Amino acid sequence: MIESKGRLHQLRVLDLARLIRTGGLALLLALPALAQAAPTAAPEMIVPDLGRYFGTWLWIKSEGLVADSDPETKGAARTLVLQSDMTYEFHERRATRDTVLCRGSYLFSEQSQKGGGVVEALEFEGWFEPYERRMVADFDGPDTLRLGGDACDNCPDHTFVRGRTASFGGLVARGGRFARDLWDGLRLELNPLPLGWEIAVRDTVRPSENLARLTPPFHAVPNPRFIEGWHFRNKANTGPNQGDVNAPQKTRDFIFSREVGKTIQGATADHGVTEEEVGRIASEGRGVLTIEEMKLVAAVPGGKAGIDSMRFTVAVEEVQGRARPAAGPPTKKAAGAPSKKAAGP
């Protein structure tokens, strides 16, 4: 749990919303630099560095006395956006459906503990859980933020990492290609196949490498990166798939990492992809494509269906600056994982 308890002998609350309305944010953020330039000065109040809070934060887990949860167990991703004008939005995304759980303004407060030490907290106007409207804040390095409710001893602790997100839609016709630039050279593509498309995530520094190529599963069922018309028809190709064809349907999840082809299954890799590597990729980048509308080619009994056109929505998120695990010996091979050569681009 985040340390926030104990008797506090001094409480100092900075009403930053009022300061910003009077044009004082630039001065507030500049004060730490001014203090460094004049080390002999002894100001009565040291202004905290609020800039480290601003940005997009991806929820990765919550830990409490009753149960723990994360995006995978909850079936939803959550994103906290802290703006420099002291407003926030808290989003929940299921597949590509985004919902704003709450939004409003937020305040920063600082408490000095008896015997030394300072506890920082954020107070959210209109937070969707009343007992968490005021949460103690703690950083684990510059890119990991922990928030814990201050109203109860057993309030869960929430861990967020700095990241980026994008949501968009598109339309492709048979044989056509789709590409969408994201950030820092990252690009999402739908590349045409004879019967549909392949999902690819690429870095413009290494455009030939598909950063999503290690999305599981690797065998038994079609990989969700490959979207082909026969996934949606029955075995005889005479009507809709009623369950006799084991294939992913309209929601396609994928994972990616800029380390794929480098420290993960790079040119010198001498082992198949491991569960540890798959977990590392999933912790760095995730996406989901939802097929909204689709037109299949005319059914030909005994043939394999292709896709004439497809309208879709996509949501992508990538962790920024998060510490990566140190390289080490490979662990247990991921179930059904291909060898390095079989992984494909």
Q: Which residues of 52-61 are buried (b: 16+ CB within 10 A; e: fewer)?
A: ebebbbbbbb
Stretch (H or E) spanning 115: none
- Range scoring the smallest mean pLDDT among 19-28, 142-151, 153-162: 19-28
**What pLDDT, in 10s, does the model give residues 321-330?**
654 433 343 4
Q: What percent of the chain has pLDDT over 90?
A: 67
Q: What is the DSSP secondary-structure string of 243-292?
A: SSS----SEEEEE--TTBTTTBS-TT--SPPBHHHHHHHHHHEEEEEEEE
How distant, in Å, are the alpha carbons of 51, 109, 125 from that of 13?
17, 4, 15
Mean pLDDT of the 218-240 span: 94
The pLDDT of 122-148, averaged and rounded, is: 95
Per-residue pLDDT for 87 more than 50? Answer: yes
The Cα–Cα gap between 316 and 243 comes to 29
Q: Do the beta carbons of residue 88 and residue 105 sit within 8 Å?
A: yes
Higher pLDDT, 191 or 333: 191
Mean pLDDT, residues 1-5: 46
The residue ranking higher by pLDDT, 331 or 253, is 253
Question: How would you label 122-153 residue by residue, b for 16+ Cβ within 10 Å and e otherwise?
Answer: bebeebeeeebbbbbbbeeeebbbbbbbbeee
The residues facing 305 across adjacent strands are none
Q: How far apart are CA 261 and CA 216, in angstroms?
A: 16
Q: For 150-176, write each residue's pLDDT tens digit.
A: 888 788 999 999 999 999 999 999 999
Q: Are strands 157-173 and 55-63 parallel, antiparallel or unpaired?
A: antiparallel
Residue 69 has pLDDT above 60, yes or no: yes
Q: What is the 8-class DSSP label of residue 69?
A: B
pLDDT for 216 beyond 60: yes
Domains, the chain, ordered by start: 8-163 (2.40.128), 174-319 (no CATH)
Q: Are strands 144-149 and 285-296 parallel, antiparallel or unpaired?
A: unpaired
Instruction: Give the DSSP per-residue string, 157-187.
Output: EEEEEEEEEEEEEEEEETT--EEEE-STTEE
CA–CA separation, 292 and 262 (whole Å): 35
DSSP reduced 3-state for 52: helix
Q: Tell me which of 290 and 12 has the higher pLDDT.
A: 290
* 103: pLDDT strictly greater than 70: yes
Query: Would you state the pLDDT for residue 326?
Result: 35
Region for residue 161 given its phi and psi (left: phi exceeds 0; alpha: psi -120 to 50; beta: otherwise): beta
